[in-house]
Chains A and B, each alone.
Chain A
Amino acid sequence: MTDMIPSPILTLTDLTVFRGAAKILDKVNLSLAEGETLALVGESGAGKSTIATAVMRLLDGAKVDGKAELEGAGDLLALSEKQMVTLRGRRLSMIFQDAGAALNPAYTVGRQLITVLRRNLGLSKTEARARAVELFTSVGINDPEGRLSAYPHQLSGGMQQRVMVAIALACNPDLLLADEPTSALDVTIQAQIVRLILSQTRARGASCIFVLHDLALASQACDRIVVLYAGQVVEAGPARDILEHHRHPYTQQLKSCVLEIGTRELTAPEGTVPPHDRMPAGCRFATRCPRALPRCAGEAPPLIPARDGAESPLAHHFACWNPE
């Protein structure tokens, strides 16, 4: 292992989100290196989308504490909305899970892309149109000129998602947040879209955070994986460490639920994530953990390096009193 620590482009420090009394995110710490691709995984409700939307500063009706530092821009959580407007699209952008809902049904997809280009890059109408055609071509849309005048409902789910990728990449952001960009799509289209996002971000040297359900896809697409449970990071590190040398029982549980072709035996985990008003004070996984010890429910385990001395925030970390 080299000890060269690449400079992080994004650093979350104790990111905490409340909705009313419920702590939706609890002191999330996370770093993203320049040019890196990171997967956020975990059960529904774990807080994956909340992290992405908090970084975009698009979270409504929630109280947010902690820091989200973007290299060169400072703490995003401390910026004014006006300052954020200049960053969205240019420095960071987001692809939403449901492209159909994220696109405006009343305007052609071309108009939506051209508006972004004109507003953020100050291009003239003709320049923006030419750039839009280029972008559509680069995301694999056949007949880009013709497709510019299509309304969202006239495009298939896969095409809509390509349009979203084109819009998200229009202004060359350094950080792309992709929230389950493919879970509504068929495997062949899913593979196309993930390849597309990776090739486009790599060609630009951009970093990428993927929210994913599929661990196998995470291993194919991402350098590192962060496992969330009930709003906390329970394990994080390079993809191989997480999938082949994980220490946290919840990571083990997630992995045992993966269905590969030919899987005939499956042991489903018991129970569900406890509601926020009944969350254990200590380890939040304690109500379902097969390895729980008496201390677990009362005392929260800290996130510690998996190897002595490997303190880099990018190295393998886990939070458990009785690791695998």
Chain B
Amino acid sequence: MIMAQTQTQTTAPTAPVFELIEVEQVFPVPRPGRPFMSRDTVGLRALDGVRLRIAQGASLALVGESGSGKSTLLRVLLGLDAPSGGRALYRGKPIREARAFGTGFARDVAMVYQDARGSLDPRMTVGALVAEPLRHFGIVPKGEEAARVAQLLDRVGLPADAATRYPSGLSGGQIRRVAIARALASEPSVLVADEAVSGLDVSTQAQLLTLLRGLQRDMGLTLVFITHDLGVASYLCEEIAIMYLGRIVETGPTDAVLSHPAHPYAAALRAAAPRFFEPIPEPLPGEIPSPLDLPKGCRFSSRCTAAQEDCRLRDPQLGQHGAGRAVACLHPLTETGAQASEIR
């Protein structure tokens, strides 16, 4: 379950895998109009008050427009960057500490990058690429290495002879499978993937998605999956978090959020998803504002068709909105009785 939380106590045994509490990530960038290397900088808020809980065994889709902060959030989860504000916890401990202490974190949390081909050394065979994490984490004795590589390749649907091939001889779909096999080698309990199936044709995509769903079910993997395809999110993930300009604006069970979105931006995403023989809907008005120049009040107010006067004055925070759901909107599209008033 993912829940927005205003207050949190973390006690070790029940601690979620990840918990983000008011996480901020501010990048210094040159003041607009200044040259690239200028020392005259302003802060770009790539993450602005992100609240998120990811429990063991959960599957979470992270969606949002380009530039909404998905990859930045992932880097915080992986401990690659420390957040500039707020707390980012892994099983109750600060992620950066967990990462610095031994190999436990790196073994437990595996990553599949969007640019799978770029993330693999082209001079290594597929077998060597998959064996590398086995050796690094000392997963199996040397004598069993080849057998384990074969087992992993089989698990991701690659032929056994793939072990002797080089990445350049593999198709886009096969490359993604290698990246997944490599990620699974350390026997992780958490798999984090950035657009792992985008840019593939529908047949290959279907093969990878059924593979990931099977892995999740059989190995009880916790899955964090960035995608811009709502169909993919809805197939693979029980939970969804929708981001807009550095903030999670709606989160909850995928089916509930997509069938009855509460945030106007979630509704716009839902409406824009292609549907057989339906007319292409009217797009959202305007452009995504620059994160350096956010609208006053609600950050979605410059494009929101449901905006009212107070939306320009108050910045809505993510607050509970019905069972397991949370929304950051002053005038959500769905009512949930008593709880709806809590956020006012």
Q: Give chain A's interface residues, CB within 8 Å of chain B.
A: 42-45, 142, 156-159, 183-192, 194-195, 198, 213-217, 219-221, 239-240, 243, 253-254, 256-264, 266-269, 272
Nearest A residue to B232, CB-CB: A259
B48 at the interface (CB under 8 A from A): no
Q: Mark B201-239, 1 if CB is under 8 A from A, else 0.
A: 111111101110100000000000000111110110000
Give chain A residues whose Cβ lies under 8 Å from the Cβ of B67.
Answer: 156
Please tell me if the beta carbons of A158 and B202 are within 8 angstroms of each other in the complex: no
Please tell me if the beta carbons of A216 and B276 are within 8 angstroms of each other in the complex: yes
- Picked from A190, A214, A219, A240, the residue with its CB within 8 Å of the CB of B272 is A190
Give chain A residues whose Cβ lies under 8 Å from the Cβ of B199.
Answer: 183-184
B259 at the interface (CB under 8 A from A): yes
- Beyond A44-B172, A188-B65, A261-B258, whether A214 also contacts B274 by CB under 8 A is yes
Please tell me if the beta carbons of A268 and B258 are within 8 angstroms of each other in the complex: no
A225 CA to B116 CA in the complex, in Å? 32
A199 CA to B170 CA in the complex, in Å? 40
- Picked from B206, B229, B255, B280, the residue with its CB within 8 Å of the CB of A257 is B206
Please tell me if the beta carbons of B275 and A220 are within 8 angstroms of each other in the complex: yes
Please tell me if the beta carbons of B202 and A213 are within 8 angstroms of each other in the complex: yes
A198 CA to B273 CA in the complex, in Å? 17
Give chain A residues whose Cβ lies under 8 Å from the Cβ of B203.
Answer: 43, 253-254, 257, 268-269
A159 CA to B276 CA in the complex, in Å? 27
Please tell me if the beta carbons of B280 and A191 are within 8 angstroms of each other in the complex: yes
Nearest A residue to B65, CB-CB: A186
- Picked from B66, B173, B232, the residue with its CB within 8 Å of the CB of A272 is B173
B287 at the interface (CB under 8 A from A): yes
A317 CA to B175 CA in the complex, in Å? 35
- Picked from B66, B171, B206, the residue with its CB within 8 Å of the CB of A186 is B66
A253 CA to B255 CA in the complex, in Å? 25
Please tell me if the beta carbons of A157 and B66 are within 8 angstroms of each other in the complex: yes
- Nearest chain A CB to B93 CB, angstrom units: 34
Please tell me if the beta carbons of A194 and B280 are within 8 angstroms of each other in the complex: yes
- Beyond A187-B230, A260-B231, whether A195 also contacts B270 by CB under 8 A is no
- Nearest chain A CB to B153 CB, angstrom units: 15
Give chain A residues whose Cβ lies under 8 Å from the Cβ of B280.
Answer: 191, 194-195, 198, 220-221
- Beyond A268-B206, A268-B209, A269-B203, whether A259 also contacts B235 by CB under 8 A is yes
B120 at the interface (CB under 8 A from A): no
Nearest A residue to B204, CB-CB: A44
- Beyond A156-B67, A186-B66, whether A266 also contacts B235 by CB under 8 A is yes
A256 CA to B210 CA in the complex, in Å? 13
Please tell me if the beta carbons of A240 and B277 are within 8 angstroms of each other in the complex: yes
Give chain A residues whose Cβ lies under 8 Å from the Cβ of B171.
Answer: 44-45, 272
20 contacts between A and B (CB under 8 A): A44-B173, A44-B200, A142-B286, A187-B269, A188-B269, A188-B284, A191-B280, A213-B202, A220-B277, A220-B278, A221-B280, A243-B277, A256-B206, A257-B205, A261-B231, A261-B259, A261-B273, A262-B258, A266-B209, A268-B211
A27 CA to B236 CA in the complex, in Å? 40
A146 CA to B65 CA in the complex, in Å? 24
Nearest A residue to B208, CB-CB: A268
Please tell me if the beta carbons of B258 and A269 are within 8 angstroms of each other in the complex: no
Give chain A residues whose Cβ lies under 8 Å from the Cβ of B229.
Answer: 187, 259
A304 CA to B151 CA in the complex, in Å? 46
Please tell me if the beta carbons of B210 and A268 are within 8 angstroms of each other in the complex: yes
Nearest B residue to A262, CB-CB: B234
Give chain A residues whose Cβ lies under 8 Å from the Cβ of B65.
Answer: 186, 188-189
The 5 nearest A-B residue pairs measured at CB: A259-B231, A216-B274, A257-B202, A217-B274, A257-B206
- Picked from B209, B232, B281, the residue with its CB within 8 Å of the CB of A191 is B281
Please tell me if the beta carbons of B204 and A260 are within 8 angstroms of each other in the complex: no
A190 CA to B271 CA in the complex, in Å? 12
A157 CA to B276 CA in the complex, in Å? 26
Please tell me if the beta carbons of A185 and B201 are within 8 angstroms of each other in the complex: no
A264 CA to B236 CA in the complex, in Å? 8
Most buried by B among A240, A254, A261, A262: A261
A263 CA to B213 CA in the complex, in Å? 13
B337 at the interface (CB under 8 A from A): no
A220 CA to B280 CA in the complex, in Å? 6
Give chain A residues whose Cβ lies under 8 Å from the Cβ of B268.
Answer: 188
A264 CA to B255 CA in the complex, in Å? 10
- Nearest chain B CB to A234 CB, angstrom units: 14
Give chain B residues whose Cβ lies under 8 Å from the Cβ of A42.
Answer: 201
Please tell me if the beta carbons of A216 and B258 are within 8 angstroms of each other in the complex: no
Most buried by B among A159, A189, A194, A217: A189
Give chain B residues whose Cβ lies under 8 Å from the Cβ of A191.
Answer: 272, 274, 280-281, 283
Please tell me if the beta carbons of B275 and A266 are within 8 angstroms of each other in the complex: no
B279 at the interface (CB under 8 A from A): yes
- Picked from B66, B173, B232, the residue with its CB within 8 Å of the CB of A158 is B66
Please tell me if the beta carbons of A216 and B205 are within 8 angstroms of each other in the complex: no
- Beyond A156-B288, A187-B273, A253-B203, whether A263 also contacts B283 by CB under 8 A is no
Please tell me if the beta carbons of B283 and A192 are within 8 angstroms of each other in the complex: yes
Nearest B residue to A256, CB-CB: B206
Give chain B residues whose Cβ lies under 8 Å from the Cβ of A267.
Answer: 206, 210
A192 CA to B287 CA in the complex, in Å? 11
Please tell me if the beta carbons of A259 and B283 are within 8 angstroms of each other in the complex: no
- Picked from A45, A186, A239, the residue with its CB within 8 Å of the CB of B228 is A186
- Picked from A142, A243, A260, A262, the residue with its CB within 8 Å of the CB of B255 is A262
